Structure 1
Amino acid sequence: MNEKPIINETEFNEIFAIMEASFPVSEIRTRSGQQALLNHPYYHLYTRRNAEGRISAFLAAWELPELRFVEHIAVNPELRSGGIGKQLMSEFIAASDKPVLLEVEPPDGELEQRRIGFYERLGFYLNPYEYVQPPLRAGQADLPLRIMTYPEPVTVEQFGRFRDLLYTEVYGVDARNRV
C-alpha cells in the first residue's frame, strides 16, 4: 500500500460515484475539488476491484509525516456487508508505523454508533475531544465530528497537534484561527 497509483478518468468517476452514494454533501468536496487532490503529494487512493475490474471500494488517505488520516472509506452500496471495507481498512492500518486518524459523526444515533463500533472492532479509539471539520464546499458550515485514533487514544496535547495538522494540511485553513 505504499505506491501512489495513477488514477485515470474512468477510475476517478467510479470512485466519485461511490463517494456520492456513501456520504452526505457536507462530507465530500465538489467533483473538481476532489479531482484536484489527485495531484497532492500527501493524498492517496487505495482501491478494491470486482471480478469485472470495476472499483468496488476505495480508501482515500492523507499520508502525512506524523500521521495517516483516512478521509473517506466506502464500498459500493450494492456490495456492502461483505467484508470489503474491513479488509481494506485492516490492510491500511497493518501497513502503518504512525498513528491513524479518522473522523466520525458523534455517537448520537444508532447508525453513528454502528459506524463507530465498526472502527472500534478494528482497534480504533473514540477520543472525547471537541472537533469540527472545516467546510469542504463554499457556503457550508463547520461540521461537528469526533476523531478516532489507532492504535491508541491520544492525549489532549497530541489531539491538538493532530487537529492542527488536519486543518492546515488536509483542509488548507489556518489552525490558529480555528481553535
Structure 2
Amino acid sequence: MITQHAFNQVFDIMAQSFPVTEYRTYEEQQKLLADPRYRLLTETNEQGDIIAFLAGWELETVRYVENIAVSPHIRGGGIGKRLMERFLSLSGMPVVLEVEPPEDELQQRRIGFYERLGFHLEDYMYMQPPLRTGQSGMLLCIMSYPQPLTQERFHSIRQELYRHVYRMPVHNH
C-alpha cells in the first residue's frame, strides 16, 4: 500500500507533467488507490523520494497505461523507459495507452518513444471521456502493444476502458 507521503509525491509529479484536463482531482486520484485493478509503479532516488511513476490498470483482457511521468528536472535519462518495461513485463496481456494525435514535434517524439518500446499507433477515432466534472472529452489516439488491434478488438477495449477506468455506462451498438 502506498503511503500518503508517496501519493503526494506522485501527485506533484502528475501536476507538473500534465495539463489539468489529463489527470483527476487529488481526491478522485486518491480514491483509485482502493481499486484492486489500479497499479502504481514508482522509481525513487537515493534519498527515497519518488522521481517517476506509472499509473496503470489491470483489466479483464487488457492492461492500460493511464499516466507515466518523470520529474521534470531529470527527464531523458531512461527512467520512463524502465518503468514502461516493468509494466509491460507484468503479464502476458496486451497493453494500450492514449496519446495526443501527432500534430507537433513533442507529440511525434512521445509517439516515437512508445514505438521504440514496441507499441503501434492505431488509426481508429477515440474520444477520451472527461476526467473532471465540467470538462469535455478529448480526441486522442490509441497505441497498442505488442500487436496492432483489429477494429473489433479496439471496440471491446474501448468499452472496457470506458466502463472501468472512466466509470461510464457502456451501450452495445
Q: Is 1:32 equivalent to 2:27 in the alignment? A: yes
Equivalent positions of 1:6-21 (< 5 A) are 6-21=1-16
Q: Distance in 2 between matches of 1:90 and 1:49?
A: 16
* Match 1:94 to one of 77, 85, 89: 89
Alpha-carbon offset, residue 96 of structure 1: 2.7
Unaligned runs of 5+ in 1: 1-5
Q: Distance in 2 between matches of 1:94 and 1:61?
A: 13
Q: Distance in 1 between matches of 2:169 and 2:85?
A: 32
Aligned residue pair count:
173
Supply the RMSD in Å over aligned alpha carbons: 1.1
Q: Distance in 2 between matches of 1:103 and 1:56?
A: 22
Q: Distance in 1 between matches of 2:54 and 2:6?
A: 13
* Match 2:110 to one of 109, 115, 128: 115
Q: Distance in 2 between matches of 1:130 and 1:108?
A: 15
Alpha-carbon offset, residue 90 of structure 1: 1.2
Alpha-carbon offset, residue 95 of structure 1: 2.6
Equivalent positions of 1:155-166 (< 5 A) are 155-166=150-161
| TM-score between both structures, scaled by the size of structure 2 | 0.97
> Identity rate of aligned residues, in percent?
55
Q: Is 1:137 equivalent to 2:110 in the alignment? A: no
Runs of 4+ in 1 over 2 A off after TM superposition: none
Q: Distance in 2 between matches of 1:147 and 1:96?
A: 20
SS in 1 for 2:171: helix
* Structure 1 residue identity aligned to 2:95: V
Deviations 1:8-52 (A, max 9, x none): 110000000000001111100000000000001100100000010
Deviations 1:80-129 (A, max 9, x none): 00000001101211233000000000111111000000000000000000
Which residue is equivalent to 1:51?
46
* Structure 2 residue identity aligned to 1:43: Y
Unaligned runs of 5+ in 2: none
